[in-house]
């Protein structure tokens, strides 16, 4: 169950699932435990291109030699130093689950046993091949028996606890207008491709055609009647949904997407859609209020549903069940899934090894750029308990907490010193900053898996039972009070986020080199994890986060003049990014990426201030001829060292709110005055922006 109101995810794993390969960095061990993992002080200078001018292309200056020599592995759509961390985590998880799997009973009672049995069930290829699609036979029978629209709507209501699809999604999260309670959110859904553009723009005609072939392939594997004809109808149905759907840019507006209404009002908004059976099957039959996201799209999507023949809707639901269950089925399904979602959509040449897919199936995480192991049905929090106990030392937590404290102080001072913000708004901004709760490593409270039945001989059953338990966890919390200690990411996740609880979370999985290295030069850590901390802090004040007050409530706390100034500065930044074109015809969407771009700029700026403050008035040491400021900037650039396949880039610029990695470096540097000073950037150099045109927000 994914929340619609986790305001920032620092980096989306769907596009960057990259373990190390030929250029594998040295791994920590007892012999080099006191040394940084990269270089002699935390920066891999051998990967830089010092012949390049930093003012022409800072991303290349910091990373060019690495970019030239490193190839993307065949089983990945991308490769990066930043996410080489994932490989180490993946290997640790593999060791962990293999160990508990060897000891697991058929029907275990401990979390160790359940994790081991789940993994064993995934690795039992002979059994999976023998059973084929029979493990979802009951789901297909339900669909074939659903002869009315209400019956099909009821199946959609089970989307969070089973393999069914839905044209509307249902989520449970903190009510952003009443942050002490939870709310049920409803949003547009129903598309099997990454974005509406894949259906509506000629640029993606090839992918759409292959998608239709994929739909037909899965229906054939299910022995579904008239598979080819139904596949054509299914894609036509989804195309109409795409036409009615809001764009991802429109979906970023928390004011436009908050429309509270009663169930009666919901039924009036979308006549002929059976909300009561939908909600009843979701376990939400007694609720009286929902929050609708894309309000104007709802009646249009419902109308599409109502006008579509029952046979088409049944085929669409059968395809969704097969598509969602495919990672856990026989080779015909997994190969088809890979060809479509990994190869066609992201350019990945080879499928990952079985054990890697097994690790992610049990621990969660969408590491395969299309594999759906994070959708539901894993034991991610149980794995997180085991991972944290073994791999996250208290000393690392203490150092991160110190960095966080310094970053909060730096941002506090920046807000106080802003020349464009009035005092009334500053008071509220500082009040909000002071309420942020920073969570590091792992949750204080463990998730209870005592009632979740896991068997070593029932993979699909394990997935379904884990999914049902996960959804029940969220349903039983309604309407509150809100659990302020909650986490939205498992400890093993290589990411960070700023959530609806006014919390900023740094799981253990992200606290590794090059993002954080306890043995590295502090300037590198401030430029990497420090800027990530600043990035997440800034999200509370980006173009959308700024609309929430110190209580986490959707509320306009800005003066009209300050809001106007902010929007004007943000618009200039958006215009800058909209000019970036990583591939011919594939331009960055400055509006879609606005929040992340603001957070990147603010995060690095604040991190530099925090690094300077940490020196306590002493001059920064010079290392290998590089000043402290230079090393901070290099730390940020190294954190984004990586490359993507062209298909992954095209997918990213359409569907991802994050800019391609080179612009997360160059787009930021060109707006920071200190960068110009640090590297003596001249007006004739390509990245130079006139001081009057540089964007200064936080």
Q: Where among 309, 333, 349 does a domain terminate? A: 309
Same structural domain for residues 56 and 154? no
Give the integer Cα–Cα distance in Å for 67 and 64: 5
Instruction: List, for residues 244-278, the tens digit of each pLDDT value.
Output: 999 999 999 999 999 999 999 999 999 989 999 99
Residues 152 and 67 in one domain: no
538 and 681 housed in the same domain: yes
Total Cβ atoms within 10 A of residue 564: 11
Q: What is the pLDDT of residues 72-84, one digit of tens each?
A: 999 888 999 877 8
- Of 276, 309, 342, the last residue of a domain is 309
Find the range with the poorest average confidence among 144-158, 192-206, 211-225, 498-512: 498-512
Model confidence pLDDT, tens digit, residues 91-139: 999 999 999 999 988 889 999 999 999 999 999 999 999 999 999 999 9
Return the pLDDT at 502: 82
pLDDT above 70 for 625: yes
Which carries the bigger pLDDT value, residue 400 or residue 627? 627
- What CATH number did the domain enclosing 662 receive? 3.40.390.10
For residue 211, is it within any domain? yes
Task: Quote the tokens at residue 361.
Answer: 């199936």
Q: State mean pLDDT over 612-622.
A: 96
Per-residue pLDDT at 385:
94
Residue 285 domain-assigned (yes or no): yes
- Phi, psi angle pair for 377, to nearest 5°: 75, 40
Structural domain span for residue 620: 37-71+395-435+512-693
**So what's the pLDDT on residue 328?**
97
Phi, psi of 374 (to 5 degrees): -100, 0
Q: In whole angstroms, what is the distance from residue 440 CA to residue 622 CA?
A: 31
Answer whether residue 23 shows pLDDT above 80: no
412 falls within a domain: yes
174 and 55, same structural domain?
no
Are residues 657 and 545 both part of a single domain? yes
Residues 345-361 have a mean pLDDT of: 93
Q: What is the mean pLDDT of residues 482-491?
A: 92
| Among candidate residues 85, 67, 94, the one with its CA nearest the CA of residue 18 | 85
Closest CA to 153 of 291, 380, 317, 352: 317
CA 58 to chain CA mean position, Å: 26
Calpha distance 557→545 (Å, rounded): 12
Band the pLDDT of 399: cuts 50, 70, 90. Answer: confident
Instruction: Kindly report the average pLDDT of the chain as a whole number.
Output: 92
DSSP-derived pairing of the beta strands 289-292 and 78-80: unpaired
Q: How far apart are the first and last CA of the chain?
A: 33
Q: In angstroms, what is the C-alpha Rg of the chain?
A: 25
Q: What b/e string do you get for 345-366 counting C-beta neighbours within 10 Å, with b at 16 or more?
A: bbbbeebbeeebbbbbbbbbbb
> Is 96 a member of any domain?
no
Tell me, what's the pLDDT at 373?
A: 52
Q: What is the pLDDT of residue 501?
A: 75
Look up the CATH number of the domain holding residue 171. 1.10.1380.10
Q: Is the pLDDT of residue 479 over 80?
A: yes
Look at residues 262, 285, 309 and tell me which one is the last residue of a structural domain: 309
- Mean per-residue pLDDT, 217-242: 98
Q: How many domains does the chain have?
A: 2
Please indicate, yes or no, if residue 214 is contained in any of the structural domains: yes
């Amino acid at each position: 169950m994914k929340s619609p109101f986790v305001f920032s995810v620092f980096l989306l794993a769907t596009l960057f699932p990259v373990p190390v390969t030929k250029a594998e960095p040295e791994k920590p061990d007892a012999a080099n435990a006191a040394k940084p993992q990269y270089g002699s002080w935390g920066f891999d200078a051998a990967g830089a291109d010092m012949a390049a001018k930093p003012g022409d292309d800072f991303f290349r200056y910091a990373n060019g030699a690495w970019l030239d020599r490193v190839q993307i592995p065949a089983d990945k759509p991308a490769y990066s130093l930043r996410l080489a961390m994932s490989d180490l985590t993946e290997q640790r998880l593999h060791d962990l689950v293999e160990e508990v799997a060897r000891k697991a009973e058929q029907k275990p009672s401990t979390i160790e046993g359940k994790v081991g049995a789940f993994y064993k069930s995934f690795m039992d290829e002979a059994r999976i091949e023998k059973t084929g699609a029979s493990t979802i036979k009951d789901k297909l029978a339900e669909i074939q028996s659903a002869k009315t629209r209400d019956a099909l709507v009821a199946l959609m209501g089970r989307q969070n606890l089973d393999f069914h699809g839905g044209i509307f999604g249902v989520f449970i999260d903190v009510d952003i207008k009443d942050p002490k309670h939870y709310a049920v959110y409803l949003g547009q859904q129903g598309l099997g491709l990454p974005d509406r553009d894949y259906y509506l723009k000629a640029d993606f005609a090839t992918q759409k055609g292959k998608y239709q072939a994929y739909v037909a392939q899965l229906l054939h594997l299910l022995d579904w009647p008239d598979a080819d004809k139904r596949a054509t109808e299914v894609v036509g149905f989804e195309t109409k949904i795409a036409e009615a759907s809001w764009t991802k840019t429109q979906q970023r507006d928390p004011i436009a997407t908050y429309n509270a209404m009663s169930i009666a009002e919901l039924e009036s908004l979308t006549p002929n859609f059976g909300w009561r059976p939908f909600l009843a099957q979701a376990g939400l039959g007694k609720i009286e209020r929902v929050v609708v996201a894309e309000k104007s799209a709802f009646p249009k999507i419902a109308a599409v549903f109502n006008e579509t023949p029952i046979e088409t809707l049944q085929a669409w639901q059968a395809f969704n069940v097969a598509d969602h269950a495919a990672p856990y089925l026989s080779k015909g399904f997994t190969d088809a899934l890979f060809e479509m979602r990994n190869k066609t959509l992201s350019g990945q040449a080879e499928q990952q090894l079985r054990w890697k897919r097994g690790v992610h199936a049990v621990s969660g995480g969408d590491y395969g750029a299309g594999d759906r192991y994070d959708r539901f049905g894993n034991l991610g929090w149980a794995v997180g308990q085991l991972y944290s106990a073994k791999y996250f030392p208290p000393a690392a937590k203490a150092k991160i907490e110190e960095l966080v404290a310094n970053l909060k102080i730096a941002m506090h001072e920046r807000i106080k010193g802003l020349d464009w913000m009035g005092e009334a708004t500053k008071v509220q901004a500082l009040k909000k900053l002071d309420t942020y709760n920073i969570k590091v490593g792992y949750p204080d409270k463990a998730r209870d898996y005592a009632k979740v039945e896991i068997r070593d001989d029932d993979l699909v059953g394990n997935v379904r039972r884990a999914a049902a338990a996960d959804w029940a966890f969220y349903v039983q919390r309604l309407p509150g009070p809100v659990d302020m200690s909650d986490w939205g990411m498992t400890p093993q996740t290589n990411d960070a986020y700023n959530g609806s609880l006014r919390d900023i979370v740094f799981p253990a999985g992200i606290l590794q080199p090059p993002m954080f290295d306890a043995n590295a030069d502090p300037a590198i850590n401030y430029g990497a994890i420090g800027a990530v901390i600043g990035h997440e802090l800034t999200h509370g004040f980006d173009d959308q986060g700024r609309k929430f007050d110190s209580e986490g409530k959707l509320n306009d706390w800005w003066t009209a003049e300050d809001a106007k100034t902010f929007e004007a500065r943000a618009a200039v930044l958006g215009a800058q990014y909209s000019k970036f074109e990583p591939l011919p015809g594939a331009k960055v969407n400055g509006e879609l990426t606005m929040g992340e771009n603001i957070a990147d700029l603010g995060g690095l700026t604040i991190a530099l201030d925090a690094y300077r403050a940490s020196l306590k008035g002493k001059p920064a040491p010079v290392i290998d001829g590089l000043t402290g400021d230079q090393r901070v900037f290099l730390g940020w650039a190294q954190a984004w060292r990586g490359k993507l396949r062209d298909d992954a880039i095209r997918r990213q610029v359409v569907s991802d709110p994050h800019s391609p990695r080179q612009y997360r470096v160059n787009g930021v540097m060109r707006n920071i005055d200190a960068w110009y000073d640090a590297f003596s950037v001249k007006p004739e150099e390509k990245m130079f922006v006139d001081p009057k045109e540089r964007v200064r927000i936080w």
